[in-house]
Amino acid sequence: MRAILFALLLVSLAASAAIEVHQFDDPAQEALYKELIAELRCLVCQNQNLADSNADLAKDLREKTYEMVKAGKDKEEIVDWMVNRYGDFVLYKPPVQRNTLLLWGGPFLILLVGVLVLVRFIRRRPSTGDHLLSEEERRKAEALLQGQEEERI
Amino acid sequence: MIPEIGHLALIVALVVALVQGIFPIVGAYKGYASWVAVSKPAARLQFLLLLTSFACLTWSFLQSDFSVLYVAENSNTKLPQIFKFSAVWGAHEGSLLLWALILSAWTAAVTLFGRSLSPLMMARVLGVLGLVATGFLAFLIFTSNPFERLLPAVAEGRDLNPLLQDIGLVMHPPMLYMGYVGFAIPFAFAIAAMLGGRLDAAWARWSRPWTQAAWVFLTLGIALGSWWAYYELGWGGWWFWDPVENASFMPWLAGTALMHSLAVTEKRGAFKAWTVLLAIFTFSLSLLGTFLVRSGVLTSVHAFASDPSRGLFILLFLAVVVGSSLALYAARASKVRSHVRFELVSRETALLLNNVILVVTTVSILLGTLYPLIIDALGAGKISVGPPYFNAVFIPLTIPLAILIGVGTVARWKRDSVANIWAKVRLAFVASLVFGLVFPAVAMAHFSWKAALGMVLAFWVFFTTLRVIRDHARGRGLGGLSLSQWGMALGHIGVAVFIVGITLTSLYSLEEDVRLAPGDHYGLGGYDFHFKGTTSIQGPNYQGARGEVLITRDGEPVTVLYPEKRNYLTGMPMTEAGIDAGLTRDLFVALGEPLGEDGAWAVRIYVKPYVRWIWLGALIMALGGVCSLADKRYRVLARREREALVGGVA
């Protein structure tokens, strides 16, 4: 779908899948490679990860990733290498740092606001205005209502 | 000549939209009956004018009139007829014209089906829609005119983007726009109700079927887009958390919240102010989506800054719409207190929770979508926000949502008790635990706790929905369920099916890129893929290679797939994957590049369990929406109110 809409933007988007053949020493390496090319961004593309892009830069970076995985480097080392060269832009999973605090903290804040609004809404719910029942009155009323309810059933 | 007629019709449509926007609203305020009476004819005339304009553009495409710039840029004489037709909305200008046409079609539909509305309410609703149309038509004419001439004409046009030469494109944008734009109707109802100073249950009842209709289209539109990306892009992915996808997903989430909130407002008269706010929010997200996609701001903040005319226009329009709506809300609706009582343990609370979670999800996605744009614009760095972020935010929030479906649908309105709800869901709870834990162990390749969690949730939604169906059917049989009860049940079963699809596809998909020479074979997930080689093919506007892959399981042939690699006239390579679709798994083969002299190719092979369930779930949800809006109470209501009006209230 994004491609459709990008096409509507008149931005060209290479649509052939990037399909390459690699040999790995063990399944863990292969999994790491796949994870990395899914989480690293093709820097010259509209919005594609390395795995999906056919751009030359993406091919080069896949090759580089492959080499580093084969050389036994772990995820952190490879990611550091990429960030050193290309900056945070290359990461689809932005690191938690000063300029992403709001990004990572945001959903929690929003949830908090949501819950506060909800609590306030529910508290305000009787909305009879001037006279609010005291706790004891409320219990009595509730017992009364409960009684009625049960009779009806 | 024909393009000029289309152009003229477009300009007249703008004038009519202005009339439709101003006279009825002022007339309703001042009490001028003749001004109010303008609304319906104006709305219908506007629809006819835009239909004419759209037909003219379509004609230019079908005739390959390359003296029209937009046609020359997006069509070609060798393009098959069906794609000449869909090319009309294949790029910016035409898709905006489609947007405007669909808005006027929805508006015309209100004049036809909204006969139960009082003339004043009708005038206000049409007036608000007229103002929205004015903004869009002005945008279209002043910044994105599809009828601009190219003189002298070129002999041959450029080709339509090959990605879009697919049946998916013929269907996807119109569906999506029907949904997007459809949310203008509940928005207009909400604004009209505030203008009229009457926020009552009747307003919710009017809005509800329209909201459901828009939601159904948006659901289908998003599902179609996802399905299209899956088979057309050759990546085997079905959702990328791309900003453009998010732009359609956010109104969907907000619209889902709106549907549920409208249900409470209609049935119980509660949450009125909140529902109005949601209607504004949902349509604003539709507009924001249009801004994101249309302004070029996603390509680059700087590209947007260097040619800001289009983007700035939509941004201003968005600011005016949101600003004035919220001002009106603050003046008219924020003080509305519903005097409807409900207890903490009740269906109202469950639906309220549903709304909070959906809105929190929507706003979080909004944050992730806009964040890189904002910090880039502020010069605070360049970052990317992608699937890892959105999955981390979205998935945890959907878990309580799925649990709530089960609780909310069995809970009673007004007041219920935990013990009572527990008694109703006890069986479903145990059954979903058992089935959910057993399923991945028995039916899948290996056990996974994540899969178990997903399946428990899916079974939970499914069993609790069955319980609700059983309760409703008690003593009357299944035929006794009203359409709206079926709607709710199907909508939720769709969610369950959808969860199954996402969970199993995400966790159990197998993917391998391999080198295959003719005669080679490769085993994956119990299937054996035999590569027979490729033959060259020649299409109307492309040439390429077609592979043949025989798939066997335990020596028995399963299917033969013919993946293609095409090179279009535009020079763009395209992958046409070969897919064998099945209820429990898809087999997917795509050709990469030829490797070496011996006819070998890089081939991508996927085994994707239960991927169809994702779209099947969306289809079932949409079907639920259709059932709901066809419920007879809306028709009964329409008739009763008509009769009441004849009595002279109007």
pLDDT tens-place string over residues B331-356 = 988 777 767 788 888 898 899 999 99
> With contact defined as beta carbons under 8 Å apart, do B83 and B159 qualify?
no
Last residue of a domain, one of A43, A69, A90: A90
**Model pLDDT, residue B436:** 95
Residue B13 has a pLDDT of 96
The gap from C-alpha B160 to its chain's centroid, in whole angstroms, comes to 24
Domains of chain B, by residue range, sit at: 1-159, 510-610
Within 57-86 of A, beta carbons closer than 8 Å to B belong to none
Q: Same structural domain for residues A79 and A119?
A: no
| Rounded Cα–Cα distance for residues B479 and B482 (Å) | 8
Could you give the CA distance from residue B95 to residue B87 in angstroms, rounded to a whole number?
9
| Shortest Cα–Cα distance, A100 to chain B (Å) | 9
- Per-residue pLDDT of B422-437, as tens digits, reads 999 999 999 999 999 9
Is A153 in the B-facing interface, judged by CB distances under 8 Å?
A: no
Closest CA to B229 of B649, B640, B615: B615
Say what the pLDDT of residue B640 is: 63
Question: How many alpha carbons fall within 13 Å on the CB side of residue B138?
Answer: 14
Residue A5 has pLDDT above 60, yes or no: no
User: With an 8 Å Cβ cutoff, is A101 touching chain B?
Assistant: no
DSSP string over A33-95: HHHHHHHBB-TTSSS-BTTT--SHHHHHHHHHHHHHHHTT--HHHHHHHHHHHH-GGGBSS--
Q: Measured between CB atoms, does A147 come within 8 Å of chain B?
A: no
**Nearest C-alpha neighbor of B19 from the set B44, B51, B42:** B42
- The answer as to whether A2 is a domain residue is no
Nearby residues of A78 by Cβ (< 8 Å), 6 or more positions away = A36, A65, A68, A69
Q: Is the pLDDT of residue A2 over 60?
A: no
Minimal Cα distance from A43: which residue of B?
B384
pLDDT for residue A54: 78
DSSP string, B560-606: EE--EEEEETTS-EEEE-EEE--SSEEEEEEEEEEETTTTEEEEEEE
Residue that the structure tokens 């549903």 belong to: B354
Q: Which domain holds residue A50?
A: 12-90
Q: Distance between CA atoms of B50 and B9, rounded to whole angstroms?
A: 7
- Which pLDDT score, from 0 to 100, does residue B57 have? 96
A29 and A59 inside one domain: yes
Residue A116 lies in a domain: yes
- Residue B126 and residue B39: Cα distance in Å, rounded? 6
Q: pTM here?
A: 0.90
pLDDT at B245 over 90: no
User: Are both A74 and A107 inside the same structural domain?
Assistant: no
What confidence score (pLDDT) does residue A99 get? 86
Q: A38 lies in a domain?
A: yes
Strand pairing category for B578-580 and B585-595:
antiparallel
Residue A3 lies in a domain: no
Q: Where are the alpha helices (DSSP H) in B68-183?
A: 69-74, 81-86, 92-113, 119-143, 167-182
Residue A5, domain member (yes or no): no
Q: What is the pLDDT of residue A4?
A: 44
pLDDT of res. B641: 58
**pLDDT average, residue stretch B620-637:** 85
Q: Which residues of chain A neighbour B173 with C-beta distances below 8 Å?
A: 4, 8
Tell whether the model's pLDDT for residue B508 goes beyond 70: yes
Instruction: Determine, for residues B572 and A14 on separate chains, whether the beta-carbon distance falls below 8 Å.
Output: yes
pLDDT-derived band at B22 (thresholds 50, 70, 90) equals very high
- The ipTM of this complex is 0.81
Q: Are residues A86 and A16 in the same domain?
A: yes
Mean pLDDT lowest among A67-71, B302-306, B418-422, B501-505: B302-306
A118: exposed, middle or buried (C-beta count within 10 Å: 0-12, 13-18, 19+)? Answer: middle
pLDDT at residue B540, rounded to an integer:
83
User: Does some domain include residue A62?
Assistant: yes
Q: Which of residues 112-141 of A touch B (CB under 8 A)?
A: 114-115, 117-118, 121-122, 125-128
* Cα B134 to Cα B127: distance, rounded to the nearest angstrom: 10
Nearest CA in chain B to A145: B415
User: Is A80 in the same domain as A124?
Assistant: no
In a domain, A68, yes or no: yes
Which long-range contacts does B533-540 make (Cβ < 8 Å, 24+ apart)? B533/B599, B534/B591, B534/B594, B534/B599, B534/B601, B537/B564, B537/B566, B539/B566, B540/B78, B540/B79, B540/B80
8 Å CB contact of A110 and B363: yes
Number of domains in chain A: 2
| Distance separating the N- and C-terminal Cα atoms of chain A | 52
Among A77-81, B124-128, B212-216, B592-596, the least confident range: B592-596
Token pair listed for A60: 């080069």
Stretch B158-183: mean pLDDT, rounded?
Answer: 83
